[in-house]
Amino acid sequence: MIDPFPIPPPEWLVAATKPLADRLSLQSLPLHIHEVIFSIALYTFTQSVLAPALSSYFCPKTYSRLSRRSKINWNVHIVSFVQACIINGLSLYVIWFDEERKVWRDNAVWENRIWAYYGSGGLCQSFALGYFLWDLMMCSMYPDIFGWGMVAHAVSAVTVFGVGYRPFIYFAAPVFLLYELSSPFLNIHWFCDKLELTGSIYQAINGAFLVGTFFSCRLVWGIYSSFWVFRDMYWLIRDGHTNFAYSVPSGKLQTMSTEELLRISRDADAQTRAFNPEQYTPLWIPVIYLASNLVLNTLNVFWFGKMIETIRTRFDPPFGTRGVGPDRIYYQPVSAEDQTTMIVDDHDSDLGVGEPGKQLEKPGQQNGGSVKAARRKAESAMNGSIEPIDDAVVQKTTLADGRERVEVSGTQRVNARSRRKA
């Protein structure tokens, strides 16, 4: 199937990209560079314009009270949700409706699954690469929010999807992109926490879909698909289609002019073996690909266990673990001087103190107040259900799932269930 993207590759952009593509042996990149640029612009627009506008309209109270750090995280989750919907739709469309690609499932044409090119697969790969380039930019700009681990993840994803433009394993691109079927539910789970729906029936139903899609797509489907890719890599090495050199030997890789590339983009019959007719690949490419695949599958198994553990902390027994067993790692006392300057981001709750999920912000940020002010607010909101004691102690608590909160001890508390009944 030719590329279904409605905008054809501009000739001037193909010509401008071709020298870099030839140097990096990414022969099919010029035909899809406009899609990569379009997807980066789309995700940037969603993050900077669309997400704030929609959030302010549908969740004005919650969104307006977020700190700058929390708003960035909120907007990124919206982009992740949008990207997952787009890439899932594209991948399913290619898998279900590309008749030429369906023929490649036959073991007799395993070479096509490794070296063949088809336009619709290039579209999937380009939107994925555009997202991971945008993700790399965001993680690099805000490593204090997303962590250096996410920077490394983005670099790895850009490398894997970039190498695919040689072309290499175009067939598998929409297959592994179906991992993203669980991402919309993961983002909805995150938003439920921020919208004070933790432990609600909505989060419970979404959690069931999250666990089901994660297990079926990332574990069952992912490991099953990895097995077939590993088998194709074995045949590639067994039949002598690779070497230990860093690059493909001279004459093995097809180099085309701009006019030839544009003609191939419109001719489905000419696409399949257009870029690598000799079917030759340096050994480092399948080694890196297989190693990345193995690491990702291992992480998916680990994340699945952590995900179930985290979801259960949101609900009461017998299915949940909220309120059962130790829920703290350690306490960190807060000095009297720090108590007057510490800012509490109160977007998670109207109480502002003593609630899970509190994020400690730097002094001077808006939308917050001191711990003493938050405590007075809590006392007023509960109509005197907390009786203050002069020797109250303020402590920063780190929960088992990594969240932090500020807790005021030395007060007489009323159980949350009792308050609801009252």
Q: How many domains does the chain have?
A: 2
Give the Cβ contact number of residue 408 at 10 Å. Answer: 23
Indicate the residue among 261, 281, 312 that finishes a domain.
Answer: 312
Helix (H, G, I), strand (E, B) or coil at 361: strand
Do residues 348 and 357 lie in contact, with contact meaning Cβ atoms separated by under 8 Å? yes
359 occurs within a structural domain: yes
117 occurs within a structural domain: yes
261 occurs within a structural domain: yes
92 and 39 housed in the same domain: yes
Tens place of pLDDT per residue across the chain (422 aa)? 889 999 999 999 999 999 999 888 888 999 999 999 999 999 999 999 999 999 999 999 999 999 899 999 999 999 999 999 999 999 999 999 998 899 999 888 888 898 889 999 999 999 999 999 999 999 999 988 888 877 877 888 888 888 889 888 889 999 999 989 999 999 999 999 899 898 889 999 999 999 999 999 989 998 999 899 999 988 888 888 776 665 555 555 567 889 989 998 888 888 887 887 667 788 888 888 888 788 778 888 888 888 888 888 878 777 777 766 554 444 445 555 555 444 444 333 333 333 333 444 444 444 444 555 655 665 565 554 444 444 555 555 555 555 556 655 554 444 443 333 33
The 3-state DSSP composition of the chain as helix, strand, coil percent (nearest 5) reads: 60, 5, 30
d(CA 323, CA 313): 8
308 and 332 housed in the same domain: no
273 and 339 housed in the same domain: no
134 and 79 housed in the same domain: yes
356 and 250 housed in the same domain: no
Quick one: DSSP state of residue 253?
Answer: S
Indicate the residue among 257, 278, 312 that finishes a domain.
Answer: 312
74 occurs within a structural domain: yes
287 and 362 housed in the same domain: no
What pTM did the predictor assign? Answer: 0.72
176 and 94 housed in the same domain: yes
The domain in which residue 237 lies consists of: 11-312
160 and 261 housed in the same domain: yes
323 occurs within a structural domain: no
332 occurs within a structural domain: yes
d(CA 243, CA 36): 31
Quick one: DSSP state of residue 179?
Answer: G
Under the phi-then-psi rule, with left for phi > 0, alpha for psi from -120 to 50, and beta for the rest, what region is 26? beta
Indicate the residue among 312, 340, 359 that finishes a domain.
Answer: 312
CA 101 to chain centre: 27
Q: How far is CA 369 from CA 69, 215, 347, 361, 362, in A?
A: 16, 42, 12, 10, 11
d(CA 324, CA 247): 57
346 and 222 housed in the same domain: no
> Which residues, other chains included, contact 116 with Cβ-Cβ below 8 Å and sequence gap of 6+?
104, 167, 170, 171, 271, 272, 273
355 and 261 housed in the same domain: no
Q: Helices 51-58 and 68-97 meet at what angle, rounded to 10?
A: 110
267 and 172 housed in the same domain: yes
Q: How far is CA 398 from CA 49, 198, 347, in A?
A: 34, 19, 18
From 97, 290, 299, 38, select the one nearest 179 (Cα to Cα): 299
CA-based R_g, the chain, Å: 26
253 occurs within a structural domain: yes
54 and 121 housed in the same domain: yes
Q: Which residues pair with 332 in a beta bridge?
A: 396
417 occurs within a structural domain: yes
